[in-house]
Copies of this chain bind each other. A is one copy, B any other.
Amino acid sequence: MRFNQPIPLNEIATIIGARLIGNTQASATGINEIHKVEVGDLVFVDHPKYYDKCINSAASFIIINKETDFPEGKALLITDDPFEAYQTLVKHFRPFNPSTKPIADTAEIGSDTVIMPNVVIGNHVKIGSRCIIHPNVTILDYCVLGDDVVIQAGTVIGSDAFYYNKKTNRDVHYKKMLSCGRVVIEDAVEIGAGCTIDRGVTHDTVIGKGSRLDNMIHIGHDTVIGKNCLLAAQVGIAGATTLEDNVILWGQVGVSKTLTIGKDAVVMAQSGVGTTLPGGKAYFGSPAIDAGEKKKELVWIKRIPLLWEKVVNR
């Protein structure tokens, strides 16, 4: 999440009740989770295992539960519960102000865009020109749609990330990490009916220019879909995954989190992608492998009875 303007660190420290050391005169430009940090960002860390990664990431300012060494020019904000400090900052800078109107006063809608009946458009949403938003679509706060975007009926853009902090010693094991990211849909994208596209946790979920999504597709938080991708019905993609340009996923394909499917790859129907796949090839199976290999495998399986015959009867 970008702040509207840089926020002085001592103001941040006051909000979360942290002790500030290091570059105390600096200002933060945004807050992110560790997978998505940029220079000027605040980030939080509460487990010693990840201290080094966080302190040496692109992030400039680290909310942390222990004083430790850090590079020149950075700052630490020391507090007992960095996760709660993160939640406090999200609530402060991105407060949940549910609109009482179907289309929020702060939404900006471009020229020649058609909004059909019973659509809900949240606060600070931006929609470009010549879009068609079909009935019963929900577009939640801060999401951005380019020009010439079509969203079929019943689709949800900007639902919360499915992203939890798990501690089994609590009565309720899973505590939601508040989502303050967005969904950004580029120009000329078409999205089918009954899809759900989650916002990023702190960053953006992106659907690239000219991509086509069929019905009932789920896209997880912070996932980035390239340009001119084609996704058939009932595909599901978990969080923080990347599809490069021109990727084709056929029906009911499932894709796991934080992996990459390379440019021009094709994944056949019902396949399950659990690892990064190089581009320019076809894949099949659950787990998905090279489609040619998979088809040979299916033939080999059918030869087992013959093999048994050869072994047992000679």
Contact = CB atoms under 8 A, between A and B. Distances in A.
Q: Which of A99, A156, A230 has the most CB of B within 10 A?
A: A156
Interface of A: 96, 98-102, 114, 116-118, 120, 122, 132, 134-136, 138, 140, 150, 152-156, 159-160, 162, 164, 168, 171-174, 176, 188, 190, 192-196, 198, 209-210, 212, 214-216, 218, 220, 228, 230, 232-234, 236, 238, 246, 251-252, 254, 256, 269-270, 272, 274, 286-287, 297-298, 300-305, 307-308, 310-312
Given A209-B172, A307-B311, A310-B311, A136 B164 contact: no
19 contacts: A120-B136, A134-B140, A138-B193, A153-B159, A154-B196, A156-B194, A168-B246, A172-B228, A174-B230, A192-B196, A194-B194, A194-B195, A194-B218, A196-B233, A215-B218, A252-B254, A269-B274, A304-B304, A310-B311
A99 B135 CA distance: 10
A215 B157 CA distance: 12
Given A159-B215, A174-B228, 9 more contacts: A102-B118, A118-B138, A154-B154, A156-B193, A174-B210, A176-B190, A192-B196, A270-B286, A310-B311
Contacts of A96: 132
A117 B233 CA distance: 28
A305 B300 contact: yes
A234 B218 contact: yes
Nearest 7 CB-CB pairings of A with B: A120-B135, A159-B193, A172-B210, A138-B153, A196-B215, A193-B196, A156-B193
A251 B236 contact: yes
Contacts of A159: 134, 152-153, 192-193, 215
A45 to B, nearest CB: 23
Contacts of A209: 171-172
Nearest to A166: B230
A312 B311 contact: no
Contacts of A118: 102, 118, 120, 136, 138
A253 to B, nearest CB: 9
B152 A172 contact: no
Nearest to A213: B162
B304 A212 contact: no
B120 A117 contact: yes
